[in-house]
Structure 1
Amino acid sequence: MTPPAVPAAVAPVVAAFLADRGAVDAALRRFGSPVHLVFPQVFDANLTALRTVLDAAAPRYRICYAHKVNRSGAFARAAAAAGIAIDVASVWELRAAQAAGFAGDRIEVTGPKGVALLREAVAAGATINVDNLWELETLVAMAGPDSPVPVLLRISGFAEGAPSRFGIDLGAAGAALELLVRHRARLRLLGFAFHLDTAATAERIGAVTDCLRLIELAYTRELAPSVLDIGGGLRQVFTADATAYDAYDAALRAGLRGTGPALQWGAATFGYQVCGGAIHGGPVYHKYANTEPAAAILADLLATPLPGHGGHTMDRVLADNLLDLWLEPGKALVDQAGITIATVEFVKQAGNGATLVHLDLSRDTVTAADQEVLIDPIVLSATARDEPVGVFFAGRLCLERDLITQRQVRLDGVPAPGDRVVFANTAAYHMDLSAAIAGMHPLPAKVAVCRDDSGFTLCPDADYRPDGVVV
């Protein structure tokens, strides 16, 4: 059986680039293979979609681009040029943000922080999204009495949702407020924040409700918070056909149960548990099932009534209480804004009869090691092929685990050496989170791609400038 196809969702400008074989070849001739390509114009379009929702529903808001999703300087400069803020989580991200043009009042520092990051953040004049009581106490010692450090309190431990290792537990929020009251000359409370590892509206509404109660509590302590920060976690759209995704998932599960052809490599189960002929649990590729754009998820959240507020929606409650809405989208801003291109080196038949297509990159270059990409790579072949086949893509490392796809992928035909293989939507974490450099392979080049009336222009990511000037 040839497996079902799972086509990738591709932004129009990216699709146009891939259709321009001359532009693709030029990129590979100039920068080598494999190569990461980022598209700042897609970033701008994603930002516009979020702004459109917020302009209509929450006139007081602040968007902070979560830099950690991609080391790209092009994305950071696009964010700076667009006038939004940036969320950084390390000393190096902070310095990169400054180099991209962000002043301290447009920088928010999140995540767990050591002394070095806190010290540099205070010196930069950044807002600090505090993860724990130790950070607050350390900031008291660092801050000057005449220049209070702006802080948000990141809260966790909400009734709904999984436990989190991040943030101040809801039960300890009172202790944090007492510390802020004692040191109001050194710390200035802007508001409360949360970041949930889910896009579920119900869980977010629960967190919002608890944070609003904390805002009320802070006012009783003569503090004046004015910010509700809902974090990031808005989803991406990976697949162009939800029905095709469901069909592949069903076929894969049938193979695992033994009621259909096996589509998995070896003992791979993709997070499912197989017991007694039944499939239990959820797959590691679940995020690829989403078909709702980030802007729609955000609009739905803002239009949801808040419990205890007379049936008023979230956006209405924020407006009535003169609260600023902050958010830190990362994946949502780089959704479909990056691709990775590799080259077929050779094709072989494995002892189990499987067709292995070997590429000049490793699995860790395009996905985290524990994830399976449930959208099909796109093969750019020099010759027409019309005999559908199922293949596995294999990586270049001398490790059994370096199988880029542990599931069969449907192709129009067996690729040939030299064919290009495109991995779509790799900008969020996939490019930088765990890129393998074993075997002394260098990291792939990262290149910014822009389109104008004359075609596509490419430049090293570090050289990209939003005004079109390349340094």
Structure 2
Amino acid sequence: MSAHPTSTPPLPAWLDVPSDPNDLVDGVWPTDAARDADGDLIIGGVTASALAREYGTPLYVVDEDEVRSHARRAREAFESAAARHGVAARVYYAGKAFLSTEVVRWVTDAGLAVDVASGGELAVALAAGADPGRIGLHGNNKSIAELERAVASGVGSIVVDSFQEIERLAAIVAAAGTVQDVLLRVNSGVHAETHDFLATAHEDQKFGFTLADAVRAAALVRNAEGLRLVGLHCHIGSQIFGTAGFAESAARIVSLYADLLAPSDADAAQDMRVLNLGGGFGIAYTRADRPTAIETLADGIVDAVAAECAERGVRMPDLAFEPGRAIVGQAGVTLYTVGTTKAVALEGGLERLYVSVDGGMSDNARPALYGANYSARLAARVSDAPPQLVRVVGKHCESGDIVVDAEYLPADVEPGDLLAVPATGAYCFSLASNYNFLPRPAVVAVRDGRARVIVRGETLDDLLARDAGIPPTERTA
């Protein structure tokens, strides 16, 4: 078992003692989340206790109406902001946040296109019936098979990431006898995280072209028969609050865009019509988070691009954006069952109660990977007990197996309690693993008082079936 010392302070600066450790903070939970007369958490009209009885725990729960609402709101915000400047905007759902055929149908019903980053994600989007012309393919190391599938499927755009990829894609397109729209992924030198951003002159990362190399990459695409350069793509980070980083990035990317509008081949310049500024829009994971409203983001980013284009005297391109977390994050809640509790004395007379649940880093890797903060609440009851500092941890053999680093729950939390962790719609299912041979949980969608499985949970039989050393007759759990 792995163990390591920690220097984490017992109380993060942002954590306040709540007046009510049963409350559901607006913006962190799905919009319609509430409690019934018995204190049972209700999501999409279904109680948490009913979901746990029917499907077990751990369990990913996704509020379908919440996803649909966020998708429509994002599309309307960016389309409206772009229309004020006489251009169009397209919003792609970034599938890496959470992808299933049902989610693809929800977001495309709401008017979104779909962004995928692998052959597997492309297969899911196509299986869901997404229009291939409204799919964009990303990735820093797309295989030849993935590129061939994308071209054969008729994907609307491929975001190229290296000189070798341009050459490979050109050969694939030539063999297929077709024309493929591409965007160049460009590193602007702007890195944003939450409300801070850093602008640098150098890039040291695996994605995209530097601003200097992008000019040569554009020439290579334009000289390749069958490839059509339609624009630029830039992504500056994740969980971003505010528009300052986007504005700084826009200044740099629009400068490159202006340079590429004036090639020796005037006809080629007319194909440069799209600027994709990526996503990374933040959501609230705790009561301390204050994410920027999508309308404010849309207006601020689009206005910044318009101002930069006007300053350089170039036509403003159509715009594209790729929110994923902002569409699905708030819609997700993960349910756990408490197994054990353990009080630990801290410095200064504080006491932390370790609350161990039946999942952990296998169903939510973000706290271990990024130090991400989450919230938690009792899901099947409320309590008059005073607030108790807790750390919600998983059942894995890692001291870093933390689900919620610091939170206050009623002091009488005990084994058998149902616990809910909100804002888990993005990157939890996507990053899930079978560490310690735990089966990955099911994903259940809730809407109008009904629940249905949209991704089946794994069983031990599923895991054993992959072990070639076990005869099929012995693969029973």
1:75-126 per-position Cα deviation (integer Å, ceiling 9, x unaligned): 2111122232100001000000001111220110012122222121111111
Aligned equivalents of 2:442 and 2:220: distance in 1?
47
1:392-435 per-position Cα deviation (integer Å, ceiling 9, x unaligned): 2221123333243443x2122221222111110011112321x3
* Partner in structure 2 of residue 420 of structure 1: 418
Which moved further from structure 2: 329-338 or 136-145? 136-145
* Partner in structure 2 of residue 343 of structure 1: 337
Aligned equivalents of 2:17 and 2:433: distance in 1?
28
User: What SS class does the counterpart of residue 209 from structure 1 fall into?
Assistant: helix
* Partner in structure 2 of residue 273 of structure 1: none
* Partner in structure 2 of residue 446 of structure 1: 443
* Partner in structure 2 of residue 19 of structure 1: 41
- CA 1:205 to 1:101, structure 2 compared with 1: closer, same or farther past 3 Å? same
Asked if 1 retains the 8 angstrom alpha-carbon contact of 2:374 and 2:423, the reply is no
* Partner in structure 2 of residue 380 of structure 1: 379
* Partner in structure 1 of residue 3 of structure 2: none
- CA 1:218 to 1:308, structure 2 compared with 1: closer, same or farther past 3 Å? closer
Higher helix share: 1
- CA 1:212 to 1:196, structure 2 compared with 1: closer, same or farther past 3 Å? same
Aligned equivalents of 2:129 and 2:52: distance in 1?
30
Asked if 1 retains the 8 angstrom alpha-carbon contact of 2:309 and 2:316, the reply is no
1:381-400 per-position Cα deviation (integer Å, ceiling 9, x unaligned): 54633222222222112333
Asked if 2 retains the 8 angstrom alpha-carbon contact of 1:237 and 1:292, the reply is no
- Choose which of 138, 150, 163 in structure 1 pairs with 2:181: 150
Aligned equivalents of 2:341 and 2:248: distance in 1?
52
1:117-155 per-position Cα deviation (integer Å, ceiling 9, x unaligned): 212111111110111111111111111374211101111
Tell me the number of residue pairs that the alignment of Structure 1 and Structure 2 aligns: 403
1:135 aligns with 2:165: yes
Asked if 1 retains the 8 angstrom alpha-carbon contact of 2:49 and 2:418, the reply is no
- Measured after TM superposition, the shift of residue 49 of structure 1 is 1.9
Asked if 2 retains the 8 angstrom alpha-carbon contact of 1:335 and 1:428, the reply is yes
Q: How does 1:79-158 map to 2 (within 5 A)?
A: 79-112=107-140, 113-126=142-155, 127-144=157-174, 146-158=177-189
Asked if 2 retains the 8 angstrom alpha-carbon contact of 1:377 and 1:423, the reply is yes
* Partner in structure 1 of residue 298 of structure 2: 298
- Choose which of 192, 212, 215 in structure 2 pairs with 1:174: 215
Which moved further from structure 2: 395-404 or 18-27? 18-27
**Matching residue's letter, 1:293:** A
Aligned equivalents of 1:33 and 1:121: distance in 2?
37
Q: How does 1:389-468 map to 2 (within 5 A)?
A: 389-407=388-406, 409-433=407-431, 435-451=432-448, 456-462=449-455
In structure 2, list runs of 5 or more residues that go unmatched: 1-9, 19-23, 191-198, 457-477
**TM-score of the superposition, structure 1-length normalised?**
0.78
User: What SS class does the counterpart of residue 10 from structure 1 fall into?
Assistant: coil
Asked if 2 retains the 8 angstrom alpha-carbon contact of 1:80 and 1:100, the reply is no
**Matching residue's letter, 2:158:** I
Aligned equivalents of 1:406 and 1:329: distance in 2?
26
Which moved further from structure 2: 380-389 or 219-228? 380-389
* Partner in structure 2 of residue 468 of structure 1: none
- Measured after TM superposition, the shift of residue 52 of structure 1 is 2.7
Structural RMSD (CA): 2.8
Identity over aligned residues, as a percent? 26
Aligned equivalents of 1:410 and 1:305: distance in 2?
43
* Partner in structure 1 of residue 463 of structure 2: none
- Measured after TM superposition, the shift of residue 329 of structure 1 is 1.0
- Measured after TM superposition, the shift of residue 176 of structure 1 is 1.3
Q: How does 1:22-421 map to 2 (within 5 A)?
A: 23-59=47-83, 60-112=88-140, 113-126=142-155, 127-144=157-174, 146-158=177-189, 160-161=199-200, 163=203, 164-183=205-224, 185-197=225-237, 199=240, 201-221=243-263, 222=265, 223=268, 224=270, 225-240=272-287, 245=288, 289-304=289-304, 309=309, 321=315, 323-350=317-344, 354-368=352-366, 369-382=368-381, 384-407=383-406, 409-421=407-419
